Structure 1
Amino acid sequence: MLKQILLFTFIVITLSACVQKDIKTFVTENRVDIRTISPDSTDYSDLQAIGKAIGDSRIVMLGEQDHGDAPTFLAKTRLIKYLHEQKGFNVLAFESDFFALNEGWDRLAKTRTDIDGFLPDNIFSIWTKCEQCGNLLYSYIPKTYKDNKSLVITGFDSQVHGTYSLANLKIYIDSFLKRQHVKFTGTGKYKKDFYSFIDSIKYNKDIQKQRNFKEALKQIINELSTVDTAVFEMMLLKSLKANAESEISLLSKGNDYLEIRDKQMAENLRWLLKYKFPNEKIIVWAHNIHILKNPKLMDNPVWKWRNMGDFFTADKQLYAKTYVLGFNSRTGTAGRITNDKKFTVQPPVKNSFETWIPETIPYAFVDFKQFRTENPSAKTYFFMKGSFHNACSGLWTDMFDGIFYIRDMYPCTLVKIKN
């Protein structure tokens, strides 16, 4: 009897081993070639595999290796159109000003003229000045409002940079605090350390003033302890506090200023999902390093902080509802529209993810989530350009749910808004 049990166990283990695939074999056998990244292509048949992989996820995060990757922006634009038109996603959240892209966008008349004027002033110029984002920002988004199939814009970044914030943030917060009868608003410290500082929040590098602003915010938030945390203004105050903490860390040469920002971006995004858009499906536009999960699974990363994707998906319910799609390239050049300096993309290293895809293939998709499902015990580290344009060894199948591969990278060109 014991021999039979041992034999049976051996057979089961052997069969299991035969079923399991290594990641290289999986990529080779399960790669899905993408026909085009042109935003003008409305035949989405080649994107169905991505749609199937996303399934009923409520959140789809779309990354990029650098903030000037023109082909990636074209691919993301086409994906956004597909997700909006065929998968029911109707909110697009940018890595940009939380206040401006919520309060400002909500108050905006959604004519093409108003949208064309608002977006360049309140979404980071690395995207709004890029021609390869123009189809999305200055054609598709306004058209969705004209056709009554609106794609709502929002933002989740704690950094305050929009012109709408510059013109309205101080008055908006002051009005809210006085409606709440916050006693601190009647003090000299409020006027000096808080009210007068907000106008310079974007560029002020005086660490003591940042500290005073943070202390004022703490006192204000303490006075508002009985106010419902679902209220937008409460989330805004917490976001401003995180922005100040990040600036203080940077100015004091701390090592957690990036993590502070990423944690708050996760909190802002969570708030959007829970309170502002509780019944909507949301697309997130951000850098690969912000959206990937489990950054600790990278060997010797060039950056070492806990990021937004890791904070966000620490919530098991959100983890189950989120599909994280990273973008990856093989060769070419890169650089941002806001900087004249361009650089050569690092060639793929030997036996890396990029080399597993034939050089004749310009675009492809690989579903790492499928790999994890079919190979639950596979924990293989391999080289891939998953965070930036340089290769790094990591357990990438546990950091992204899927990868969109682009063979030839090139930088943005300056946008030309069409009338």
Structure 2
Amino acid sequence: MMKQVSLSLFAVVALFSSCQKATVEEQIAAYLIPFEQVDTASFEEIANRIGDCDLVILGESGHGDGTTYEVKAELVQYLMKEKGFNTLALEGEGFIQMEIKNNGYPDLFPHADVSKWKPHWGNVVQTTGLVRDMLHNQHLNWKYIGIEGYDHHVPVHDFLYAELEKGKLDTKTKNQFIETYKKMIQYDEKGITVEEVDFILETMTFIIENVQDQTKNGFIKQALVNIKGGLEDYKYTGILGGYENENKYVNIRDKRMAENVIWYKKNNPEAKIIVWIANFHGAKQAQNVRYRENDPDLYQRFKLFAEYLVDAFDTKVYSIAFISSSGEAKEIHENSTLRQIYTPENALEYYLHQRNTPFGYLDFNEVKAKEPTLK
């Protein structure tokens, strides 16, 4: 999804227009609050603006900008240790695995072992301090939310078959489900049809609608919703594929990621949550953005992660995008190569770069309040 992620840098900028001589981006850049180093004093400026929001989204323009990871990791530590945040929601981590880490559920997932878990960016040098706190400082009592439906680290088939057996389905349907599901989880796109996938999804819907969930927080039902979600991802990206289906997948995934955070927050109202995610998913009012390539109305089709949270929690949600104007980035996977961070002339990053400061912070609430014509 890198194309959409990279464009998210301009999501807020595109909400403004201006007839003045200076470009909108140049006017906005003038409001940069610079700071020379990443430290407590710099973060205090940000924390003052976050105020009493208890859902903070921390984005990134791409999964591999080392400086962004370093600042995000230190900001997370600051907010968790100094400002009362106690829960970290993670893009790229499965819902079931993180709930097992939080609460165990040995009766439902007896073979799950999360003792060796670390976040997918756990070996990144710039996040070393945060990862050490997450894995070894248990006295901090931090909790975690996996926001993904897919989960490659916890065997879920025994749990799923047990719930299937409890459902009011005939033996033929149950056997067909198990046979088809085993075929699906081999991830052989050529060996399974769309009709078979739809059968699995329809059966999953029936199970979810009729589940007898005895857990006090509704975990069984939410776990089933996420298993179904991972299968939906497989349908649109693995079986169908193509531009339109990938965009459908974006909408389905963002809704489910948000529903996982909403589920957790409603079950744990005292939770103060930081979300580690891409800028794209943390954008608000994305429908107003004009896409810069051959599909200018693309963003009108999306309702993104942050917008569901705003619907649920209104002003308690604060979203921060991270961008870089220069340097190199590298994806977090083997055989990835370094690439230059490209800043087009007249982009917001271009004008921010002219401010000659290593770090800075833009408060768009302040910009909108002081420059109401920039809309």
8 Å contact from structure 1 (residues 170, 199) kept in 2: no
Contact 1:66 1:287 in 2 (8 A): yes
Residue among 288, 296, 301 paired with 1:297:
288
| In the alignment, structure 1 residue 107 sits paired with structure 2 residue 104 | yes
Pick aligned residue for 1:197 from 172, 181, 188: 181
Corresponding residue for 1:142? 135
Highest RCO, 1 vs 2 (Cα 8 Å, sep ≥ 6): 2
Q: 2:60 pairs with 50, 61, 64, which one? A: 64
In 1, Cα distance between equivalents of 2:174 and 2:216: 22
Residue of structure 2 aligned with 1:128, choices 122, 136, 140: 122
Larger radius of gyration: 1
The equivalences for 1:223-372 within 5 A come to: 223-224=210-211, 230-250=217-237, 251-253=239-241, 254=245, 255-275=247-267, 277-301=268-292, 304=299, 305-315=301-311, 317-338=312-333, 339-350=335-346, 352-358=348-354, 360-372=356-368
TM, length-normalised to structure 2? 0.78
More strand by share: 1
Q: CA deviation at 1:198?
A: 6.2
Contact 2:100 2:114 in 1 (8 A): no
Q: 1:115 to 1:82 in 2, by over 3 A?
A: farther
Structure 1 residues 353 and 66: CA distance shift in structure 2, 3 A: closer
| TM-fit CA distance, 1:46 | 1.4
Partner amino acid, structure 2, of 1:222? E
- How far residue 97 of structure 1 moved from its aligned partner, in angstroms, is 0.7
Match of 2:116 in 1: 117
Query: Which letter maps to 1:76?
Result: K
Show structure 2 runs of 5+ residues with no match. Answer: 1-23, 107-112
Q: What is the distance in 1 between the residues matched to 2:345 and 2:328?
A: 16
Seen in structure 2, the aligned counterparts of structure 1 residues 306 and 54 have a Cα distance that, compared at 3 Å, is same
Partner Cα distance (1:323, 1:350) in 2: 27
The question of whether the paired residues in 1 share the 8 Å contact of 2:54 and 2:273 is answered with yes
Shift of 1:31: 2.3
Whole-angstrom CA distance in 2 between matches of 1:333 and 1:82 = 26
Which amino acid letter does the alignment assign opposite residue 136 of structure 1? L
Q: 1:224 to 1:311 in 2, by over 3 A?
A: farther
Match of 1:172 in 2: 159
By how many angstroms is 1:362 displaced?
0.8
1:378 aligns with 2:362: no
* Distance in 2 (alpha carbons) for counterparts of 1:243 and 1:188: 24
- Cα distance change of structure 1 residues 298 and 269 upon mapping to structure 2, 3 Å threshold: same
In structure 1, stretches of 5+ residues that fail to align are: 1-21, 38-42, 380-419
Instruction: Normalising by structure 1, report the TM-score.
Output: 0.70
Percent identity, please: 24
Query: Aligned partners of 1:236 and 1:199: how far apart in 2?
Result: 21
Counterpart-to-counterpart distance in 2, 1:320 and 1:74: 28
2:162 is the counterpart of 1:183: no
